[in-house]
């Protein structure tokens, strides 16, 4: 593992902890008479509102400039909002009503599998044999959790619903990957405010009862931490690791979720649950020490993202400090350890 990748790995792990805590706490809130769609709405409104305040504070205190969202980015942002901001959380909240909090927390790691498969098939992101091994391991664990062994080999509808939500979040992650060089605070704020507002009016028109002020405030805070801060860190991590590897590191999310489930609900894990947990965590750990080096060609690249002049990739000296502007990288061929970051999304004939 390159030392330069460590900050991106730590950001992905912290994002996983924040997100992993969401399932057991959301299930606890569902027990306080809040409708699933209202719960999804306030989670995303909390995310969007909280991150907007962080953005405002950052603008006042810091001179660092991030790349803004422009017209070509809107299609990717809209796709992320629809798939991951509206559909996925509503399906998740409905499915949580019929699934234990600990199982739901662990099953949320299927998001990494969904993200990786979509990244490979539709966005041509390079995936190594080690990454494929991690995908297979996590998928196997997800199958264990989705199977209702007490009634033969039937599938649990609640678990399947959570798996579907994870696939939609995987689609969201890949849409977001294409704009990960842009301001992550702006991306999260737009996603939270638009998705939360849509879900709020949907719940209202469906006749769902508005929860108490205490529940609303609790849900807003949970949304800010588990969805807002988590997504912001996730986007920053994707800049350096790509969508597939960042999502696979989400395999550590069950640690927070399962511990909270045991504390809140007293849920003692079954033997199958323990096996699935070991498989999922092991799959994530496979990626932490991954090394990827080969001779590769950079075609001429013209894009915009925040950067500093102490970065050799951006060796110009017209301005100092972290800033953002459109710039061009000339074509070159070289060999070094790299990940599918925003400068290395080239094709691979064969991945080792």
310 and 284, same structural domain? no
The answer to whether position 344 is within a domain reads no
302 and 185, same structural domain? no
DSSP letter, residue 55: H
The answer to whether position 270 is within a domain reads yes
pLDDT, tens digit, for every residue of 174-223? 898 888 778 888 999 999 999 999 999 999 999 999 999 999 999 999 99
Strand bridging mode 293-298 / 154-155: unpaired
Question: Which backbone phi and psi does 317 adopt, to 5 degrees?
Answer: -130, 35
- pLDDT, residue 294, reads 45
Residue 350's H or E segment, with its range, is none
Question: Residue 325 to residues 2, 302, 306: CA-CA distances in angstroms?
Answer: 27, 11, 7
pLDDT, tens digit, for every residue of 17-54? 888 888 888 888 887 678 999 999 999 999 999 999 99
Q: Whole-model pTM?
A: 0.69
The answer to whether position 346 is within a domain reads no
Burial of residue 71 (number of CB atoms within 10 Å: 0-12, 13-18, 19+)? exposed
236 and 126, same structural domain? yes
Nearest in space to 241 (alpha carbons), one of 296, 183, 304, 173: 173
The answer to whether position 345 is within a domain reads no
The answer to whether position 152 is within a domain reads yes
Question: Which backbone phi and psi does 302 adopt, to 5 degrees?
Answer: -120, 115
248 and 307, same structural domain? no
pLDDT, tens digit, for every residue of 278-329? 887 787 677 665 554 545 454 544 544 453 555 555 455 555 555 444 545 4
**Number of structural domains found in the chain:** 2
190 and 326, same structural domain? no
317 and 248, same structural domain? no
The answer to whether position 237 is within a domain reads yes
Highest mean pLDDT among 7-16, 24-33, 61-70, 191-200: 191-200
Integer Cα distance of 96 and 36 in angstroms: 9
Integer Cα distance of 131 and 311 in angstroms: 28
The answer to whether position 343 is within a domain reads no
312 and 270, same structural domain? no
- pLDDT, residue 282, reads 82
115 and 9, same structural domain? yes
Q: Looking at 241, 264, 294, which one is the last position of a domain?
A: 294
Q: Which residues pair with 155 in a beta bridge?
A: 147
Integer Cα distance of 38 and 233 in angstroms: 25
212 and 131, same structural domain? yes
182 and 91, same structural domain? yes
Share of the chain above pLDDT 90, in %: 27
- pLDDT, residue 325, reads 45
- pLDDT, residue 257, reads 74
311 and 284, same structural domain? no
Integer Cα distance of 304 and 318 in angstroms: 16
Question: Residue 278 to residues 77, 107, 149, 162: CA-CA distances in angstroms?
Answer: 35, 13, 19, 20
Tell me the residue range of the domain where 316 lies: 297-337
The answer to whether position 342 is within a domain reads no
Highest mean pLDDT among 100-109, 139-148, 190-199: 190-199
- DSSP letters, 214-282, are HHHHHHHHHHIIIIIIHHHHHHHHHHHHHHHHHHHGGGGHHHHHHHHHHHHH--PPPHHHHHHHHHHHH
pLDDT, tens digit, for every residue of 238-272? 877 776 677 667 666 666 777 777 777 787 777 77
Integer Cα distance of 294 and 95 in angstroms: 44
* Helix boundaries (H) for 21-128: 22-30, 36-61, 74-80, 88-96, 101-107, 110-121
Burial of residue 31 (number of CB atoms within 10 Å: 0-12, 13-18, 19+)? exposed
Highest mean pLDDT among 9-23, 82-96, 141-155, 312-326: 82-96
Burial of residue 189 (number of CB atoms within 10 Å: 0-12, 13-18, 19+)? buried
CB 66 within 8 A of CB 204: no
pLDDT above 80 (res 65): no
182 and 273, same structural domain? yes
- pLDDT, residue 35, reads 92
User: How many Cβ atoms are within 10 Å of 63's Cβ, its own excluded?
Assistant: 8
- pLDDT, residue 235, reads 82
């Amino acid at each position: 593992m390159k030392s330069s990748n460590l900050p991106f790995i730590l950001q992905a792990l912290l994002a996983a902890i924040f997100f992993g805590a969401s399932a057991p706490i959301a299930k606890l809130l569902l027990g306080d008479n809040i409708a699933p769609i209202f719960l999804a709405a306030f989670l995303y409104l909390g995310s969007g509102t909280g991150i907007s305040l962080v953005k405002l504070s950052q603008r006042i205190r810091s001179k660092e400039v991030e790349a803004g969202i422009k017209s070509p980015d809107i299609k990717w942002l809209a796709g992320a909002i629809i798939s991951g901001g509206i559909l996925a959380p509503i399906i998740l909240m409905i499915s949580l009503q019929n699934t234990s909090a600990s199982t739901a927390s662990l099953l949320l790691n299927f998001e990494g599998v969904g993200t990786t498969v979509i990244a490979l098939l539709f966005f041509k992101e390079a995936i190594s044999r080690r990454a494929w091994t991690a995908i297979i391991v996590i998928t196997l664990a997800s199958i264990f959790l989705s199977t209702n062994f007490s009634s033969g080999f039937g599938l649990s509808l609640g678990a399947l619903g959570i798996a579907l939500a994870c696939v939609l979040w995987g689609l969201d992650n890949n849409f977001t990957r294409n704009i990960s060089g842009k301001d992550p605070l702006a991306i999260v704020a737009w996603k939270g405010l638009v998705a939360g507002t849509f879900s709020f009016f949907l719940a209202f028109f469906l006749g769902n009862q508005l929860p108490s002020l205490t529940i609303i405030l609790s849900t807003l805070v949970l949304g800010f931490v588990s969805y807002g801060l988590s997504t912001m860190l996730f986007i920053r991590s994707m800049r350096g690791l790509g969508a597939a590897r960042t999502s696979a590191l989400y395999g550590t999310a069950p640690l927070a979720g399962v511990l909270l489930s045991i504390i809140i609900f007293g849920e003692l894990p079954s033997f199958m649950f323990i096996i699935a947990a070991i498989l999922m965590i092991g799959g994530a750990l496979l990626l932490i020490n991954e090394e990827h080096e080969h001779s590769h060609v950079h075609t001429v690249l013209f894009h915009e993202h925040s950067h500093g002049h102490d970065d050799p990739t951006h060796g110009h000296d017209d301005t100092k400090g972290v800033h953002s502007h459109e710039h061009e990288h000339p074509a070159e061929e070289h060999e070094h350890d790299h990940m599918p970051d925003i400068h290395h999304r080239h094709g691979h004939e064969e991945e080792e």
